Structure 1
Amino acid sequence: MRERGRTRRLMGLGARTGGALLRTRLGGQADWRALGEALFEGLSELKGPAMKLAQIMSQWDDLLPADLAEELARLQRQAEPMPWESIRHTLDDHYGDIDRVFREVETRPFASASMGQVHRAVTHEGETLVLKVQYPGLAEVLEGDLAQVRRLMRLGRWFKVPQARLDALFEELAASLRGELDYCAEAEALARYRQRYADWPGVVIPEPLPAYSGERVLAMRHVPGTPLRDLETADDATRQRIAATLADWLTEELFTHGELHADPHAGNFAADDQARLVVYDLGAVIPVPDERLKAMMHLLDATLQGDAMAMDSALLELGGRQGQGAPLSLYREAAEAVSALFAPGEQDLGDVRVHRRLRELSPKVWAAMDRLQPPADTLLLSRTLNGHYWNLVRLGARLDMQARTAPLLEWAR
């Protein structure tokens, strides 16, 4: 009965979303604020795959209607927690009786996400831990929820997104969500990253604690910090140091280790009291082959040169265009907008003029969607890089992008 109730609510939210898109397609006006509020309230309570999809959508806030993006972004910072009684049941199932293991467990989480939430706990020996607890029953309803998400994603065909691309995006999302339920794999990733970045003074990875962990509970040593989403009001020096460290870390991940942290949710990162970057969540890590990186750098190289024909060839190499490709004028306009971020010296990644130009190009991009598509096997990578970019934007990052990318462009040639 409970699963049928979830299905009905998801179908209702899908119908409301479809109605708003249809009104827009027919030339009418949609109330994006009202739709966003309904999605926030419904998905915040339901959790799971649909909430995760909405969080992903919110990271593309340069393409979504502003009111809708603003409401969906609340899912990254204000999602309603699961009632403590349900979480306590999961903890008691795992530990037998949490009172025998812990002196105290905070009943209100300090972080709530789509698949689980995090509670501080203190052992009887006085050690402070954090417990990442999977939402009760989520594994049982996951496949049913994914089926509804697949139906929701069919709305993408109204925007000329081919079914093959939608199927690829769905499979990517499904694999990512199934992986996020594997806390043993995440514990292994934490241990691997701690070893990898042991000599990086600016990066902190929490230590996993296998003795306290299991299939639905992941325990880590507590590393206090200010979440990235709350750093917008921090002093400029702290924000710039964290931004530079994040950019350095992402470059190291991609070009040295061939991996990437694939969940750029701002709540997964923080700054500690020494202005070090804390990486809390490693539930989603993806491999990035050299050939894929080189193809993406070829596209960036052509873009910075303003060479529309080379941009088209690079997109073809990536598998990102079909038929005759996009109009060359669209390539040139995109190159002009993006190149501003790669001018010599420090550039403000939050430059509203750049984002305004990109937003103005959005209708032209959508109009070319029958010829210009995100490559099916880079959807997760593209979405992830976009999310990390917007984290840098929200930090107010000022980076010398030309100096940072010059050796990478040379490597790809």
Structure 2
Amino acid sequence: MRERGRTRRLMGLGARTGGAMLKTRLGGQADWRALGEALFEGLSELKGPAMKMAQMMSQWDDLLPPDLAEELSRLQRQAEPMPWPRIREALVLQYGELDAHFSEIEERPFASASMGQVHKAVTLEGETVVLKVQYPGLADVLESDLAQVRRIMRLGRWFKVPQARLDAMFEELAAGLRDELDYQAEARALARYRERYADEPRLVIPEPLMALCGPHVLAMRFVDGTPLRELESADDATRQQLAQTLADWITQELFTFGELHADPHAGNFAADAQGRLVIYDFGAVIPVPAARLDAMMKLLEATLARDPMAMDDAMVQMGGRQGQGAPLSLYREAADSIAPLFEPGEQDFSDVRVHRQLRELSPKVWAAMDRLQPPADTLLLSRALNGHYWNLVRLKARLDMHERVQPLLA
């Protein structure tokens, strides 16, 4: 009965979204603020894959209508927590008698997300830990939720996205969400990353407590920190130190280890008292094959050279363009917007002129969707890179991207 109720609510939200998109496509004016409020309220309560997809969409705030993006972004920081009795059920299922393991568990979570929420606890030995608890029953409704998400994604056909491409994008999204339900895999990822960066003094990665970890609960030593989204008003030196660390870490992940942290919303990052970058969540780590990275760098090289024909060749090789006729004028405009970010010297990521130019490109990209398509196997990679970019924007980063990227192009 509960599953049927979820399905009806998701179908209703999907219908409302489709109505707004259709109205816009027909030349009308949709109330994106009202739609965003409805999606926030419904998805915040339902949790699960649909909320995760909306969180991902909110990071594409250069593509979405501003009012809709603003409302959806609340899902990253204001999502309603699941009531404690339901969370306690999941903990009892994992541990049995809670008093046998913990002297205290805070009933109020200090973080709530789409697939679980985090509670602070104290072990019998007096150590403060955090428990990331998967929402009860989520695994049971995952596939039915994904079916509704697939129906919502089919609205992309109105924007000239072929069905085969939508199906491939859905499969990549679904695989990522299924992986996120495996908390034991995340515990192993935490251990792997702690070993990988044991000698990096600027990074802090919490230690998983394997004896307390299970399929639906992840236990870690508590690491205090100020969330990244609260650091916009921090002193400049702290923000620049964190931005440098974040950029260096992403570069090393991609070009040394062939992986990327793929859940970059601001709540997963913090700064500790020493100004080190704390990375809390490793539920989504994706491999980045060398061939894919090479293709992306060829596209970047062509973009920086402002060579639209080379940009088109790179897009075709990546599987990002189909149909007849290369949109050369769009390539030129994109290059003119992006290339200045990579000129010699420090570039200010808080420069609103850059964001305005990219936002103005968005409707032109959508209009060219019969020829331009995001490669199906790069959905999560593109979303992750975009999210990391906006984290650098939040930190008001000043980075010399020319100096950073030239050795990689070589």
Q: Deviations for 1:375-395, whole angstroms, at most 9, x for unmatched residues?
A: 111121111111111111111
After TM superposition, give the deviation of residue 350 of structure 1 in Å: 2.2
Q: Is the 8 A contact 1:208 1:220 kept in 2?
A: yes
Inter-partner Cα distance in structure 2 for 1:187 and 1:276? 22
Aligned pair 1:27/2:34, yes or no?
A: no
Inter-partner Cα distance in structure 2 for 1:188 and 1:363? 42
Aligned counterpart, 1:144: 144
SS in 1 for 2:199: coil
Q: Deviations for 1:76-120, whole angstroms, at most 9, x for unmatched residues?
A: 010000000100111112111212211111111111110000000
Matched ranges for 1:257-272 at <5 A: 257-272=257-272
Distance 1:199 1:162, change over 3 A: same
Aligned counterpart, 1:76: 76
Aligned counterpart, 1:244: 244
SS in 2 for 1:310: helix
SS in 1 for 2:340: helix
Inter-partner Cα distance in structure 1 for 2:227 and 2:325? 41
Inter-partner Cα distance in structure 2 for 1:326 and 1:19? 32
Which ranges of 4 or more aligned residues in structure 1 deviate by more than 6 Å?
none
Inter-partner Cα distance in structure 1 for 2:17 and 2:135? 26
Aligned counterpart, 1:388: 388
RMSD: 0.8
Matched ranges for 1:61-140 at <5 A: 61-140=61-140
> Which letter does structure 2 place at the counterpart of 1:175?
A
Distance 1:240 1:325, change over 3 A: farther
After TM superposition, give the deviation of residue 325 of structure 1 in Å: 4.5
Q: Is the 8 A contact 2:117 2:135 kept in 1?
A: yes
Aligned counterpart, 2:199: 199
> Which letter does structure 1 place at the counterpart of 2:186?
E
Aligned counterpart, 1:50: 50
Aligned counterpart, 1:254: 254
SS in 2 for 1:270: strand
After TM superposition, give the deviation of residue 46 of structure 1 in Å: 0.1
Aligned counterpart, 2:401: 401
Aligned counterpart, 1:277: 277
Inter-partner Cα distance in structure 2 for 1:226 and 1:392? 16
SS in 2 for 1:232: coil
SS in 2 for 1:28: coil
Q: Is the 8 A contact 1:204 1:278 kept in 2?
A: yes
Q: Is the 8 A contact 1:297 1:409 kept in 2?
A: yes
> Which letter does structure 2 place at the counterpart of 1:301?
E
After TM superposition, give the deviation of residue 154 of structure 1 in Å: 0.5
Inter-partner Cα distance in structure 2 for 1:142 and 1:244? 38
SS in 2 for 1:119: strand
Q: Deviations for 1:39-95, whole angstroms, at most 9, x for unmatched residues?
A: 000000000000000001001001100000000000001000000010011111211
Aligned pair 1:315/2:325, yes or no?
A: no
Aligned counterpart, 2:228: 228
Inter-partner Cα distance in structure 1 for 2:322 and 2:351? 32
Q: Is the 8 A contact 1:326 1:368 kept in 2?
A: no
Inter-partner Cα distance in structure 2 for 1:304 and 1:327? 17
Inter-partner Cα distance in structure 1 for 2:131 and 2:201? 25
Matched ranges for 1:150-165 at <5 A: 150-165=150-165
SS in 2 for 1:233: coil
Inter-partner Cα distance in structure 2 for 1:59 and 1:75? 11
Aligned counterpart, 1:4: 4
Inter-partner Cα distance in structure 2 for 1:249 and 1:185? 21
Inter-partner Cα distance in structure 2 for 1:264 and 1:401? 20
Matched ranges for 1:329-348 at <5 A: 329-348=329-348
Inter-partner Cα distance in structure 1 for 2:78 and 2:266? 12
Aligned counterpart, 2:301: 301
SS in 2 for 1:33: helix
Structure 1 residues 252-261 or 372-381, which shifts more?
Answer: 372-381
TM-score, structure 2 as length reference? 0.99
Inter-partner Cα distance in structure 2 for 1:324 and 1:376? 19
Q: Is the 8 A contact 2:173 2:379 kept in 1?
A: no
Inter-partner Cα distance in structure 2 for 1:189 and 1:7? 33
Distance 1:319 1:108, change over 3 A: same
Aligned residues between the structures: 410
Q: Is the 8 A contact 2:348 2:398 kept in 1?
A: yes
After TM superposition, give the deviation of residue 351 of structure 1 in Å: 1.4
Inter-partner Cα distance in structure 1 for 2:91 and 2:163? 42
Matched ranges for 1:283-294 at <5 A: 283-294=283-294
Q: Is the 8 A contact 1:325 1:372 kept in 2?
A: no
Inter-partner Cα distance in structure 2 for 1:193 and 1:292? 23
TM-score, structure 1 as length reference? 0.98
After TM superposition, give the deviation of residue 121 of structure 1 in Å: 0.3
> Which letter does structure 2 place at the counterpart of 1:97?
E
> Which letter does structure 2 place at the counterpart of 1:216?
H
